[in-house]
Amino acid sequence: MQQVIVQSKGHVMASAISRLAIVATAPIVACASLAFAPMAHADNIRQPGQSVTHDGLSAATAAASCWDIKQRNPAASDGTYWLQTPAMDAPAQFFCDQTTDGGGWVLIGRGREGWEGWSGGKGDTSKLTTRVRNTDAFDVVQYSNATVNQLLNNENVKDQADGVRVLRSWSASGRSYQTVDLKFTKMTDFVWPFKMAHPVNVSLDNRASIYTYMWNTPGYDQGWNALQVYPSSRTGWTIGWGYGTGAASWGGDVSSSTSFFHKSGQTIFPYSEAYVRPRISSDSSDFARLPDEGGAEQTVSRAVSNYAAKTSWGVTGNINGSYAEGNIQVQAFAQVGSTMYVGGNFTGVKQGENGAEKSSRGLAAFDVNTGDWTGQAFDFNAQVKALLALPDGRLLVAGDFTRVNGEAHIGTVVIDPSTGAIDPSWDLSIKNALRGGTVSVRALDYYDGYVYLGGVFTHLSGGGVSNVYGRNAARVALNARPDRAWNPELSGSVQAVAVSEDNGAFYAGGHFTRAHGNDRAWYAAKFSTAPGAVQDTSFDFQPSTVSAGKYQQTISAAGKRVFIGGSEHSLFGYDTGSNLRTSGSLMLSNGGDLQASTISANGVIYGSCHCSDGSYQDKYDWGVNENWSRIDEIKWVGAWDATTGENLHWTPFELSSRRKTGAWALTTDTNGNLWAGGDFILSFTDSTHSQWNGGFARYDKRDNVAPDAPTYLRTSSATASTVTLTWEGVSDAVSYEVLRDDRAIGSTESTSIEVPRGGENRFFVRAVDAAGNRSATTPVYVPPAYGQVDPANPVLLDAGATWRYRAENSPASEDWARTSFDDSQWPTGAAPLGYGDSRIATVLGSKDSRPVTSYFRSHFQVSDASAIKGVTVRYMADDGAVVYINGHEVDRTRMGSGTVSYQTRADYAPSYSAAVDSMSEVFVPAALLHSGDNVIAVETHVNYMRTATVGMQASIFRVEGTPDNSDSHEPSVPAEPQNLGDATGPIDVRGMTSGEVIPSGTTQWNYWTSTSAPASDWATTGSLADWSRGAGPIGWGDANAATPLDIAKKDRAVTYYFARDIDLGTITPATSLVVKVRADDGVVLRINGTIVDTKRMSDGNITHTTYANEAVTVSKASTDLLEVTIPASSLTDGVNRIGVEEHVNYKGTASMTFDLTATMVK
């Protein structure tokens, strides 16, 4: 039996309150809902094959621009129109000014004071679909940068003939307006430029233009003919299209709620409207005709969410009483297992702004998933500067301290995370023979058996050796023994260190200028990790300035790149092989130095600075000039591609730093979430809701996985001018978009929509999830002409079909699933049937009479069973279900493998949403079908009597092809798999065409439990002769394990390996292997060495020491399985190797168990 479980994805619902800023990476949304009208107006419906008029009067006839509408219809008036450029994913409504200066202008923002420089825009953008010039329009609303860029068809702003036009009120009554034309000479994609040094030609009321930078005050005077947009004390730190300070003395109304003028600081802000006039034709060749195979999926940014995760705990207080730079509250992060350790200059933790402080000085422990304090408390007498999770699971802490928990520990100490106690085996002692003897260890990294340290020190002792010279940089073994043979001998303090896994080189940054005595090492340098610490002099670091600060404070390395950040205000990327500089970003002179960085597993480098204006791409000098390619907003933290160094247009929304110094610590956890530490006091969890923060904030990983594509696109009804399309939905879709020929024409939240015929009548459908990811489209579908039957419709039983059902406190007749059973006395109802969820169409019974088992029957027709290969049954199991076709069991979900009776409970109780998101599929061969009438029967079983929901729904689809047993109406008995019990040879299923090929309990597996990784070819063709062997389940923590493992915690590995060969014989295009494997805690499934799926493992490179991102109980692991269908393209004729890695979340995890079953269909 074949079964496919579609995994669900979680999404965060955005607030629907007034300030609905749109994230720059989200899909374009110009009105309150993306469920745009599916039907054209009657006078716009075109007959099949005719061209479509793009007049902007409906979604199906959306125009490419306001300008295009005006060109096609000079009589077009001001108003709301549907627009869709080639760059837009779907049509949406906008306001077109068709009067001013020839018309063709689209409104992109309006309001009085309080405009926003954030890329996500501001306010409820549905209000921009109309234009009202009254007090209701004073609250600022702006489209996101992404929306404006899509309106411009992603064409450069500098190439727009009309630039950006602002109409700002010329009177307090709003009866007259001044025209401000902005022609940006370097702006590529659109940004709201209020806080940026964008060069611009400014013209007021069509007068001669003035060339200047946007953040200056351009104009013809300093009063009513000037433009002031940069927030400062002159503007009361407010943003808008202000007049110059010379107008501040005007004695009119600048304060009432009805005035079109508002004074803030020394600036009068008028009500203003911003427009662009892209000249895009609806016949543009950029509208690309979709190929028959359909369009590709589209995903949102890899960067984390712009909004903070909801947390309640934080740090508080100050150990040393200093608030100078370098003494910030949070300065370091490190994750060990499921705990995130936070280090810095604080005295305790508290829950909420007004919570009571609980002492934990310098170091605190928080749950990585919830952000809650774990209860572990520490006592450092000075601040913690760096943290490092050691490969053996211990935590190394470094900083300015000399005593920890009452014991003497100078500069470093090791903590046992399982207890929070100090590890006495770490006896490293550090001293500084210079500068009065102060020791400060500020940076840590680990590579190939050594911990690398940077800071202020000269000598180290420990691990049996004494007084080893290591000036400001050194390395020690895991037993705390310093390496006397390795000493770069740097002349100044070291602020940052990193070792590249790619080239094995050590990089250091700081205040030094010399190495090894007299060698030039200019604030950042590269050294060999071989004895001698030879400097690579071909690495020539060039700071951004020759006159100001040059010290470097952060280094991150991944792949073939190393990024170095610091003073002045720079983040430079270098190739690890050639030493060439590959990228550069600066924050200009009004920005701030880079202070921390981290590279995520999905290839994003996050960098932090005390900066809140702009990040200038491809800039390498500190001066205010035009030596850059683009500008992006940044506030304390930015994100760049970790290979190209290109800005990803991300920054957190309105993160507040107490002393405006930004972040001093960054890390990404195993969930893919970003932790930012400094002196943060407030963050936004959505565009309207804020929360208190105690020093740090967490930004969760964005869902950037596209949903599956809809299937079985078909016609359910039609008229001469319209067609109603229907399809099978996917689990995480919040809407579906219908495309015709070369663009989208409709959207719906359901799986059916009526759309107009037109053009070539080539239709496609794609799914959109809550994060804005779009699936690949369906292949092309051309509906039949009106009055004709759709021969391609594969649906034999619709998901909303009518069923007969029995939900009583007694078992049904033994023959209830057979075709001959008389169900005429059973009640009927439309699917889905069940209880406990608003989506259920037919509600069953009351709580007092709910049974363990409910029974359902329906009929479907097959015209000729000998002419098809079979059918696919897709069904929901809530809690568990067994499915029968014509009396034969064909599949079961969450029902174990034994005999099923009325009293049999399901293995697990999913939520209704989880059941919907994990529909099961099974292929039923034609041998089980009858020509004519067929019966599907389903029995659902609860996991416990008070289960919250029960649900049943099923659909059946015809599968074309030649039946395997065309001369028989009875299923053939499949052969049995051979050699299950001897893992030294392959399982032999060459004689089977379908059925279970790897059962639980009787299949022997090869397994590897060493703390060292197995040979690199273990999952392909490598020898497994020296591996252990045993039947599944295998592991610890499971009382039912067939092969229990007894491994002391100190001897446990992070990863355990399991492998078995299976001879599948000849692979046909229809062959598939359905694999179900435990994830305890996390799992990686490989077929012939290739990773096909993972569960509870974060994105990025997975190694022998990669922890799972969640710890689960054995009960959950045995029911919440990773279920994957392996297609024929991933299999090979003959022997295939199944390889499994089980990763623990932490070494003390209560269970690590492995088990796997597989079924095959040929």
The predicted pLDDT at position 50 comes to: 56
Cis? peptide before 1081, omega within 30° of 0? yes
The predicted pLDDT at position 965 comes to: 55
Contact 50, 63 (CB under 8 A): no
Alpha helix ranges (H) inside 869-958: 912-917
Over its C-alpha atoms, the chain yields an Rg (Å, rounded) of 33
Check whether 933 has a pLDDT greater than 90.
yes
The 8-class DSSP code of residue 1148 comes to: T
Contact 829, 835 (CB under 8 A): no
Dist CA 334 CA 666 (whole Å): 10
Dist CA 249 CA 269 (whole Å): 13
Contact 651, 634 (CB under 8 A): yes
Residue 547 vs residue 83, higher pLDDT: 83
For 606-652, the pLDDT digits (tens) are 999 999 999 999 999 998 999 999 999 999 999 999 999 999 999 99
Check whether 555 has a pLDDT greater than 70.
yes
Percent of the chain residues topping a pLDDT of 70: 94
Give the residue-averaged pLDDT of 724-751. Answer: 94
Q: With a threshold of 0.85, does the pTM exceed it?
A: no
Least confident interval from 204-218, 344-358, 542-556, 778-792:
778-792
Exposure letters 534-548 (e unless 16+ CB within 10 A, then b)? bbeeebebbbbbeee
Residue 520 vs residue 1051, higher pLDDT: 520
The predicted pLDDT at position 433 comes to: 94
- Indicate the pLDDT class of residue 13, thresholds 50, 70 and 90: very low
Fold of 65-276: Gamma Fibrinogen; Chain A, domain 1 (3.90.215)
The predicted pLDDT at position 232 comes to: 94
Check whether 37 has a pLDDT greater than 50.
no
- The vertex-480 CA angle with 494 and 441, nearest 5°, equals 25
- The vertex-451 CA angle with 450 and 456, nearest 5°, equals 135
End-to-end CA distance of the chain: 11
For 87-117, the pLDDT digits (tens) are 999 999 999 999 999 999 999 999 999 999 9
- In this structure, are strands 888-893 and 880-885 parallel, antiparallel, or unpaired? antiparallel
The helix (run of H) or strand (run of E) holding residue 841 is none
How is residue 452 written in tokens? 């690398």
Domain locations in the chain as residue ranges: 65-276, 711-790, 796-960, 987-1161
The predicted pLDDT at position 846 comes to: 64
Dist CA 803 CA 858 (whole Å): 5
For 687-702, the pLDDT digits (tens) are 999 999 999 999 999 9
Give the residue-averaged pLDDT of 1011-1037. Answer: 94
For 818-866, the pLDDT digits (tens) are 999 999 999 999 999 999 999 999 999 865 678 999 999 999 999 999 9
Compute CA distances 462 → 386, 466, 514, whole Å.
20, 6, 27
Give the residue-averaged pLDDT of 1075-1084. Answer: 95
- Indicate the pLDDT class of residue 967, thresholds 50, 70 and 90: very low
- β-bridge partners, 835: 950
The predicted pLDDT at position 381 comes to: 98
Dist CA 1078 CA 891 (whole Å): 20
Check whether 738 has a pLDDT greater than 70.
yes
Dist CA 184 CA 201 (whole Å): 6
The helix (run of H) or strand (run of E) holding residue 1154 is strand 1152-1154
Q: Which CATH superfamily is domain 796-960 in?
A: Galactose-binding domain-like (2.60.120.260)
The predicted pLDDT at position 38 comes to: 37
Give the residue-averaged pLDDT of 924-947. Answer: 94
| 107: nearest Cα among 84, 87, 81, 136 | 81
Give the residue-averaged pLDDT of 123-144. Answer: 97
The predicted pLDDT at position 21 comes to: 32
- Indicate the pLDDT class of residue 974, thresholds 50, 70 and 90: very low
Q: What is the 3-state secondary structure (H, E, C) of 1128-1147?
A: HHHCCCCEEEEEEEEECCCC
Dist CA 854 CA 373 (whole Å): 45
Phi and psi angles of residue 926, each rounded to the nearest 5 degrees, phi first: -60, -25
Check whether 1027 has a pLDDT greater than 80.
yes
Compute CA distances 1014 → 314, 448, 494, 700, whole Å.
41, 17, 37, 34
Give the residue-averaged pLDDT of 1044-1059. Answer: 91
Fold of 987-1161: Jelly Rolls (2.60.120)
Cis? peptide before 879, omega within 30° of 0? yes
Sequence-distant (≥ 6) Cβ neighbours of residue 75 within 8 angstroms:
none
Dist CA 363 CA 359 (whole Å): 10
**φ/ψ bin of 848: left (φ > 0), alpha (ψ from -120 to 50), beta (otherwise):** alpha
CA 827 to chain centre: 46
The predicted pLDDT at position 49 comes to: 52
Sequence-distant (≥ 6) Cβ neighbours of residue 904 within 8 angstroms:
852, 853, 895, 896, 941
Give the residue-averaged pLDDT of 369-377. Answer: 96
Contact 774, 768 (CB under 8 A): yes
Check whether 556 has a pLDDT greater than 80.
yes
For 485-537, the pLDDT digits (tens) are 999 999 999 999 999 999 999 999 999 999 999 999 999 999 999 999 999 99
Dist CA 579 CA 810 (whole Å): 76
Residue 776: other Cβ atoms inside 10 A: 19
* Number of alpha helices (DSSP H) and beta strands (DSSP E) in the chain: 4, 80
Dist CA 237 CA 28 (whole Å): 30
Contact 276, 151 (CB under 8 A): yes
Phi and psi angles of residue 539, each rounded to the nearest 5 degrees, phi first: -85, 110
The helix (run of H) or strand (run of E) holding residue 149 is helix 145-151
- The vertex-245 CA angle with 239 and 250, nearest 5°, equals 110
Phi and psi angles of residue 116, each rounded to the nearest 5 degrees, phi first: -120, 135
For 1100-1113, the pLDDT digits (tens) are 889 998 989 888 88
Residue 1088 vs residue 716, higher pLDDT: 1088
Check whether 16 has a pLDDT greater than 80.
no
Check whether 128 has a pLDDT greater than 50.
yes
Please identify, in words, the CATH class of the domain defined by 711-790: mainly beta
Residue 321 vs residue 790, higher pLDDT: 321
For 387-416, the pLDDT digits (tens) are 999 998 999 999 999 999 999 999 999 999
Contact 242, 218 (CB under 8 A): no
The 8-class DSSP code of residue 515 comes to: E
The predicted pLDDT at position 336 comes to: 94
How is residue 1121 written in tokens? 């399985």
| 699: nearest Cα among 286, 159, 128, 301 | 301
- Nearest-10 Cα torsion for 819, 821, 822, 825: -110
- β-bridge partners, 1074: 1125, 1159
For 277-294, the pLDDT digits (tens) are 999 999 999 999 999 999
Q: 796-960 with 987-1161: one CATH topology?
A: yes
